[in-house]
Amino acid sequence: MLGVMQARKGVRLQGNVVVMIAAAVANAVAIFQLSNYANQIGTKTFRIKRIKGINNAGADTDIHIGTGAGAGFVAMLPPLHTINGMNFDFAEDDLPEVEFAADMTCFPDAAAALTPVTIQVEVEELG
Amino acid sequence: MADLYPHKSGLGLVEPVALINHNVCILYGSVKNWRKVIFLEPIPFFQCLNLGAIALQTTTARIACPNLAMLDGEFGQFRWFPMDNVQIRLFLPQTDGRYALRNIQVPVDETITDRDPCLHLTEFFVWEDKSPAFEAMNIMDYALTQCRIVAGGYRYVTVGLDKSSIAKIEAGQEACTYVVASGNAGVPR
């Protein structure tokens, strides 16, 4: 059956709605956490399928998506430009088939407690 | 009977493992139940069990599924899949793990509907009230509010075979389908 099916098709999942209240790489926060229960059978990875959010930062800003935070941050996508006061929505066709093997993190170039960038992602987890 | 046998692979949805007037031998532990099918009916896929909310990275207790129990003299043929993002182990009965390899007991997760769309390899049989039990792992870093299992297949009503029929079957003179309705820990070495 695998020959005619999409053998690497996974399970669609979504992260929580994450309110990013601080800019800069040191403040990168998890926007999707990989399934890595010690008792699970198999190793999971995931591919990002959709990014939805709103920029309330008071200015246009880039958001950066990768893994880790601070000096350990590794960008997995190019920065995505978002427009102040607008929703942003990057769907599957806009996104490369980048595969994550660790929690996905994100930070904006501009955000503060009263002027956050809010984000939610949909992923396809494989394994 | 050549087309009817347990866990049949290949394209196609669930098929009955025996038809009316077919002989079956239901293996439950070390007991052989020699039976003849007198009635069968389909059981459409339905939500047979909800294991409920599961905290992140947690394994549930082993929970029995009485909705898949059969009446006396009956056996059931079921295929199944989980509706939520969990890894589920099947026990039949409650102490015998199914899908057992030497080092692990293979779980079933949501990907089964893509990898085995007709669910052939999930098939199991229930003899009378020896219903299965399920144990779910929420492997995610996110809590689950539901853990639902969907199953469907066939119900068979059977009567016992007389000794002469059993002797003919054992001598290879009469056909019989062997149906495994419990786990097996292997032969002691």
Query: B116 touching A, CB under 8 A?
Result: yes
The label of the residue with tokens 């199914």 reads B98
Which pLDDT does position B93 carry in this prediction?
87
A4: which chain B residues are within 8 Å (Cβ-Cβ)?
Answer: none
- CA of residue B109 relative to chain centroid, distance: 16
Q: Report helix, strand or coil for A89.
A: strand
Q: Where are the domains of chain B?
A: 23-180
Q: What are B17-68's pLDDT values in tens digits?
A: 999 999 999 999 889 999 999 999 999 999 999 999 999 999 999 999 999 9
Q: Please indicate if any CB of chain B lies within 8 Å of the CB of A3.
A: no
- Closest chain A C-alpha to B48 CA, distance in angstroms: 22
Rg from Cα positions in chain B: 17
pTM here is 0.91
All residue ranges of chain B with pLDDT < 70 are 1-3, 9-11
Confidence of residue A8 (pLDDT cuts 50, 70, 90): confident
pLDDT at residue A7, rounded to an integer: 60
Q: What is the pLDDT of residues A66-98, one digit of tens each?
A: 999 999 999 999 999 999 999 999 999 999 989
Is residue B177 within 8 Å of B23, Cβ to Cβ?
yes
**pLDDT digits 0-9 by tens, A19-74:** 999 999 999 999 999 999 999 999 999 999 999 999 999 999 999 999 999 999 99
Residue at A54: amino acid letter = I
Which CATH number among 2.60.290, 3.90.920, 2.60.120, 2.40.50 corresponds to the domain A11-126?
Answer: 2.60.290
Beta bridge pairs of residue B178: B25
How is chain B classified by DSSP, letter by letter?
-TT--TT--SSSS---S--TT-EEEEEETTEEEEEEEEEEEEEEEEEEEE---B-TTEEPPPEE-GGG---TTEEEEEEEEESSS-EEEEESSTT-BSSB-SS-BPPB-TTHHHHSTT-GGG-EEEETT---EEEEEE-SSS-BS--EEEEEEEEEEEEEPPHHHHHHHHTTSS--EEEE-S-------
Listed by start position, the domains of chain A span 11-126
Distance from CA of A83 to the nearest CA of B (A): 30
Q: Write out pLDDT tens, residues A112-124.
A: 999 999 999 999 9
Q: B141: which chain A residues are within 8 Å (Cβ-Cβ)?
A: 33-36, 103
Q: Is A11 on the interface with B (CB under 8 A)?
A: yes
Per-residue model confidence (pLDDT) at position B3: 66
Q: Tokens for B77?
A: 């043929």
Across the strands, what pairs with A63? A80, A108
- Cα angle A94, A71, A125; round to 5: 40
CB contact under 8 A, A36 and B141: yes
Write down the pLDDT at residue A1.
44
User: Beta-carbon neighbour count of residue B43 at 10 Å?
Assistant: 17
Quickly count: other Cβ atoms within 10 Å of residue B153's Cβ. 24
DSSP state of A15: P
CB contact under 8 A, A44 and B138: no
